[in-house]
Amino acid sequence: MTLKRVSVKHINYNPKGKDTPDSLNQEYIVLENMGDSTVSLAGWKIMDNTRTGERRHTYTFDEKITLKPRDQIVLHSGSSKDSETKGKQPRWNLHWGKHAFIWNNEGDTATLFDDQGKEMDSLQVVPLKES
């Protein structure tokens, strides 16, 4: 049996320092192919969900993005040139192209959908309360 599982591994939703336009690419999420076969992400989507369940931001992967087993993608919130690094992780450094932060510092949820709209994985982050 072939297992195709891409998971949301991490959300760097509150990078250190001030939130400035220059720090947009320090905010990112990491996806990883946890399965045992190559997966094409053509048409797959990643969405953020606010605490109220509203989905405000959607990123759609293009046809060139494929992940071999254990390959990772880092999807940055800001803008820059997308790149692929063969033989190293992350395999892909992609950029959402936003001019504002996507992931809420108070917590957020990233949900990954396949090209048919089926939810494949989700990760919720909640900041720890300081005592």
pLDDT given for residue 4 in this prediction = 60
pLDDT given for residue 130 in this prediction = 66
Mean pLDDT of 29-36: 96
Mean pLDDT of 111-116: 95
The model's confidence at residue 1, banded by pLDDT at 50, 70 and 90, is very low
- In the chain, the amino acid numbered 89 is Q
Stronger pLDDT, 30 or 49, i.e. the higher one: 30
Mean pLDDT of 122-131: 80
Mean pLDDT of 25-31: 96
How far is CA 98 from its chain centroid?
13
Considering all CA atoms of the chain, what is the largest pairwise distance in Å, rounded to the nearest integer? 48
Q: What is the pTM of this model?
A: 0.90
* Mean confidence (pLDDT) of the chain: 90
Please state, in angstroms and rounded to a whole number, the distance separating the CA atoms of residues 16 and 126.
16
pLDDT given for residue 72 in this prediction = 97
Least confident of 13-17, 88-92, 126-130: 126-130
Mean pLDDT of 76-89: 93
Enter the CATH code of domain 6-125: 2.60.40.1260
Residues composing the chain: 131
Give me the residue spans of the domains in the chain.
6-125
